Structure 1
Amino acid sequence: MLTFLGFLMIVVFMYLIMSNKMSALNALILVPAIFALFAGFTDVGDMIISGAEQVAATAIMVTFAILYFGTLIDAGMFDPLVNKVIKIAKGDPLKITVGTAVLSLLVGLDGDGTITYLIVVTAFLPLYDRLGMNKLILACLPAMSMGIMNVLPWGGPTARVMSVFNYDAMTVLGPLIPSIIAAAVYVVGLGIFFGLKERKRLGIYKETIDPQAALETAAIVMDESPQSLKRPKLFWFNLSITILLVIGLLTAALPLPVLFMLGFVIVTIVNYPNLKDQKTRLEAHAGNVLTVVSLIFAGGAFAGILEGTGMVDAIASSIVKVIPDFLAPQLPLLVGLTSMPFTFFMANDPYYFGIVPILAESASQIGIDKLEIAQASLLGQPLHLLSPLVGSVYVLIGLVGVNFRDHIKFSVKYAVGISIVMIVVAIITGALSI
């Protein structure tokens, strides 16, 4: 019964948001609550609170990260970067999309989707807006990049695999390095593909790009924020604080929410010492904060009910049971392929702590190394980063200004493509046996 209700709940949820019949915020809260009550659970409130508590730290971090970067944008810290990118791109959509892909891969090395989205979107959104480029590309490329970088040892999935099977980082990831490199090349290739399409759509071609027009475009982009808010004399101070924040992030000197709380307070006081100005800056970014954070808590509610009712465990058990015996030798390949829907429709914890160990044990009984199952389970992460259960996706779509349905419809085929590339390369290099 729980299995049926779990599957039905996911189908109904996806239908409502993909058909635009309900907003993601409303569907994330209402749909699981109704199904839980229908299943006879009376402690739905406790489940929602539990789920919200699990994402509270993320919500706090996102709140102050948006305020922090929003304040720096107002102060003009990113103006030189945007100006430089425009001069290099010379109004060329191809260079802008490739730059988006490369920057996303580089920033994504820290394994944190939220930070990557904040930095990349902050840098490139003015360019996309000014040139009239498709902003779904700006949502897609960072998401695809994070789907790859999330596999790194400090990313959540690999850390879970290492803890479950007691493997070290290189044991798990060493054989997958060719797959990761191939996937990164794929993302850069996507940047080229998107850029060429945008050139054609906008009627902008390399030979027609005027460097002087690019400089004029840069000037207009820079003027989007009131000059009264600019603090050019504080550029190096703001940059130094940001560098210190990144160092703190990499060294885990303080929890990430604390780093952004302190960073926001410092840059606000220094850049806008007048209390009235501080209040105005806070109000200016309150809308973005509310939009993104409310979705994060709603996602927590969804996950809390899914786990609290036991629907996740029921779904996992039923899927494992239906694997035919004749497909058992191809279990690593099956795990690689099924890791895409598994990690899309459920959080990483139930998948890596609940399903993967069962699959690995089943594989070991027929002579397949558990390591292959562990590695295969990581190859669906590009699709996972599009999941409505991942809080950072709401940060991304909120910053870019696109809706969840359009983002999924645009990006899902490319995410599947990246996973297929990783699986194929893993088979070629022998990381996965068939």
Structure 2
Amino acid sequence: MLSILGFSMIAVFMYLIMSKRLSALVAIMLVPIIFGVIGGFFTELGPMMQEGVEGIASTAIMILFAILYFGIMIDSGLFDPLISKILKIVKGDPLKIVVGTAILSMTVALDGDGTTTYIITVSALLPLYKRLGMNKIILATVAMLSMGVMNMTPWGGASAMAMASLNLDASQLFLPMIPVMGFGLIWVLVVAFILGKGERKRLGVVEIQHNHTNSEANSELAATTVSRDYRRPKLVWFNFILTIVLMASLIIDFMSLTILFMIAFAIALLVNYPDLKDQQDRIAVHSKNALAVVSIVIAAGIFTGIMSGTKMIDAMAITLVSFIPESFGPFLPVIVAFASAPFTFFMSNNAFYFGVLPIIAQAADAYGISAAEIGRASLIGQPIHVLSPLVAAAHLLIGLVGTDFGDLQRFAVKWALGTVTVMTIAAIILGVI
């Protein structure tokens, strides 16, 4: 009975958010409460929900300050020298331009926000693509491939949801994935080289005046990102060193990610914007993005708390295990790695990570496979997810580049599937899954 109730709850939840009858934020709180009442757990729901929210509070705080930190870095102009350097190096060589696109989009995507990544990358490089007559779909494809890998960071969305739904912390889920992401990024550079070489063969190397192009690109960048009043060019090296120290600290794992990001954000805000009014303005600018991600993660505590507290997740897992052939059990992580691609393409990350993933993780437990291993595998399909029409940032990218969604998907899907395959193989070889 609990199994039927649980699967029914998942079905209703997925239907409501995919049909846009309810927002994910509302559905993820109200649907489990309703089904908890139907299951006869009315008097026990309070403690269940409280336990679920408390379990993911640290993750939500970490995501909040990570988004704010990278927002400050973008505002202050940390990436401006990189953009200028890339534009200076690539000149009129299509091969260098496409590889430069990959490097820039990877770097900017550190903040985990597709919207920011696409705006900065397209604004900086689209003028070059237009001037040389290069295929603009290549620009969109390379930016999406970079975002697909970098979206696996704990503050990028997918990892945050996986941590929340499986009650894991970043050291369990994300840190082992760093070398896997490295292989994914190498693959993106390989794809950029292949596509760029094709464009160089088609167009040749064109002599252009760097200064004019650089000025044009930078003017578009300034118009689409942040006012130049908030740039801090004299603090670029300080911000760069601070970010490197932060990244190194994350890898060393000597302190929780939550505390590290809180401290780094406080230092960055104080040094770059000592004036209180400027601090308030910068926080206000980025609070919208932060609120959108953090609120859904906190709300997920109700969902996971009720799923665990009522034992619905256990009953569903037992049912699911009964349908899995015994010989397939040990290969569940690999199956999940590839299955997460179509799952997250046809449904939102919310639906997959909060609706499907906990069930798979519980089923995998019967074969001695940890929830962390299943969680890592579930992230590998993100390069396909970013191509989904359900992703709002993808529509922004289409508008910025001026191409058709269907054309982009047909062009990019094979390269995105290649990213998934490379990362899956790397994860197996490295023992991550």
TM-score (norm. length: structure 1): 0.65
Structure 2 counterparts to residues 143-182 of structure 1, below 5 A: 143-144=148-149
3-state SS of paired residue (1:55): helix
Deviations 1:278-313 (A, max 9, x none): 222222222222222112212333222222222221
Cα deviation, residue 137, structure 1: 7.1
The separation in 1 between residues aligned to 2:375 and 2:256, in whole angstroms, is 28
3-state SS of paired residue (2:15): helix
3-state SS of paired residue (2:364): helix
The separation in 2 between residues aligned to 1:206 and 1:40, in whole angstroms, is 71
The separation in 2 between residues aligned to 1:288 and 1:333, in whole angstroms, is 37
Cα deviation, residue 380, structure 1: 4.8
Cα deviation, residue 141, structure 1: 3.8
CA contact (8 A) 2:6 2:316 kept: yes
Matched with 1:82 is 83
Matched with 2:253 is 252
CA contact (8 A) 1:56 1:297 kept: yes
The separation in 2 between residues aligned to 1:147 and 1:414, in whole angstroms, is 18
Matched with 1:282 is 283
The separation in 1 between residues aligned to 2:141 and 2:194, in whole angstroms, is 14
CA contact (8 A) 1:125 1:138 kept: no
Return closer, same or farther for 1:300/1:5 CA change in 2, 3 Å cut-off. same
Return closer, same or farther for 1:290/1:332 CA change in 2, 3 Å cut-off. closer
The one-letter amino acid of 2:28's match is L
Return closer, same or farther for 1:222/1:386 CA change in 2, 3 Å cut-off. closer
The separation in 2 between residues aligned to 1:239 and 1:182, in whole angstroms, is 24
3-state SS of paired residue (1:20): coil
Structure 2 counterparts to residues 222-237 of structure 1, below 5 A: 222-224=221-223, 225-237=226-238
Matched with 2:213 is 214
The separation in 2 between residues aligned to 1:255 and 1:377, in whole angstroms, is 19
> Is residue 6 of structure 1 aligned with residue 14 of structure 2?
no
Deviations 1:39-65 (A, max 9, x none): 222133333332222221122112222
Matched with 1:383 is 381
Deviations 1:13-40 (A, max 9, x none): 2222223332222222222222222222
Return closer, same or farther for 1:58/1:223 CA change in 2, 3 Å cut-off. same
The separation in 2 between residues aligned to 1:32 and 1:103, in whole angstroms, is 42
Return closer, same or farther for 1:320/1:81 CA change in 2, 3 Å cut-off. same
The separation in 2 between residues aligned to 1:145 and 1:33, in whole angstroms, is 34
CA contact (8 A) 1:317 1:355 kept: yes
Matched with 1:32 is 32
Cα deviation, residue 421, structure 1: 6.6
CA contact (8 A) 2:384 2:417 kept: no
Structure 2 counterparts to residues 312-391 of structure 1, below 5 A: 312-324=313-325, 328-333=326-331, 336-337=334-335, 345=352, 354-360=362-368, 379-383=377-381
Cα deviation, residue 231, structure 1: 1.8
Cα deviation, residue 357, structure 1: 3.9
Deviations 1:87-109 (A, max 9, x none): 4555999867755666788x8xx
The one-letter amino acid of 1:24's match is A
The separation in 2 between residues aligned to 1:58 and 1:399, in whole angstroms, is 26
Matched with 2:402 is none
The one-letter amino acid of 2:214's match is L
Cα deviation, residue 352, structure 1: 8.3
Structure 2 counterparts to residues 39-188 of structure 1, below 5 A: 39-42=39-42, 43-88=44-89, 116-118=110-112, 125-129=119-123, 131=126, 138=143, 141-144=146-149, 187=188
3-state SS of paired residue (1:259): helix
Q: List runs of 5+ in structure 2 lacking aligned partners.
A: 128-135, 157-161, 345-351, 386-390, 398-404
The one-letter amino acid of 2:253's match is A
The separation in 2 between residues aligned to 1:181 and 1:278, in whole angstroms, is 34
Q: List runs of 5+ in structure 1 lacking aligned partners.
A: 108-113, 164-168, 361-369, 388-395
The separation in 1 between residues aligned to 2:265 and 2:184, in whole angstroms, is 35
> Is residue 22 of structure 1 aligned with residue 22 of structure 2?
yes
Percentage of pairs with the same residue: 35
The one-letter amino acid of 2:363's match is I
> Is residue 310 of structure 1 aligned with residue 318 of structure 2?
no
CA contact (8 A) 1:2 1:311 kept: yes
TM-score (norm. length: structure 2): 0.65
The separation in 1 between residues aligned to 2:395 and 2:112, in whole angstroms, is 10
CA contact (8 A) 1:79 1:222 kept: no
